[in-house]
Amino acid sequence: MKKDEPPLEFPDTLEGFEYTFNEKGQLRHIKTGEPFVFNYREDLHRWNQKRYEALGEIITKYVYELLEEECHLKKVLVPVDAVESEPKSFIFMTEDAMTNPDKLMVLIHGSGVVRAGQWARRLIINEDLDSGTQIPYIKRAIERFSNQGADIDACVDKAANIQNEINKDFEERVTANFAQYSASNSGQCNDRIFYNSYVIQKDFYDVLC
C-alpha cells in the first residue's frame, strides 16, 4: 500500500458507488450522468483496480437478480444433497426444466470473475447490459422454447464471435450436476430433455450431444 493510499473499503451497493443503470442499460453516475471512470484516484492504480473489482461483484449480483426477475430463471444449488463442509455452487435453470419435453436451457458458472449470465464485465460497465450480458439471448430463447420449441441457433451469433476456447471438462461437469439434480427430483434423468439441452456458459455457446 502506498503511503497516502486510502483504505481498501468500498460500498456494497450501486447507490453507494453513486452509479445506476439508466433506461438504456448503461452504467451512469447518479449525479453527473457520466460513464464509469476507472482512474478515480490518480497514481493509485492498485486502489482503482480494487474499486473496479468491488463494483464488479455488485454488478454480478445485479445480473443474478435480472436472471431471476426478468428471465424467470430458477437458481438451483448443486450438489443438491451437499453437506455443510462440502464445496457447492449453483446453476440457473428455466422454470420448466424438469417438464419441458423439447429443450432445456441451463446457465452454469465458468472459471474466473465472469459468472453465469455475463459475457464480459468490461462490456457491462463500459457499454451496456445488452452488450455485456446474455439476457437478450436468454429471453429470446425462452420465447422460442415456449412458443415454437424451435432451436436457438439464431440467438447466438454474438456468442459464437466471442468464443475463444471450450473448457474440456465442461460437458462432464454439466452431465454430472444436471443428472444429479434430475435424479433427486424425479427419480431418473429425463434423457429426452437433457440430450436436447442447450447450454450457455460465460465465454461460449456450445450445443451438447
pLDDT > 70: percent of the chain: 64
User: 14-28, 79-93, 137-151, 173-187 — which is least confidently predicted?
Assistant: 173-187
Mean pLDDT of the chain: 74
C-alpha cell at 67: 436472471
In degrees, rounded to 5, the angle at the alpha carbon of residue 133 between the alpha carbons of residues 45 and 104 is: 140
Look at residue 79 in the predicted model and tell me its pLDDT: 86
Look at residue 59 in the predicted model and tell me its pLDDT: 96
CA gap 129, 136 in Å, rounded: 9
User: Domain map of the chain by residue range?
Assistant: 72-207
Look at residue 34 in the predicted model and tell me its pLDDT: 96
Residue 192 or residue 84, greater confidence: 84
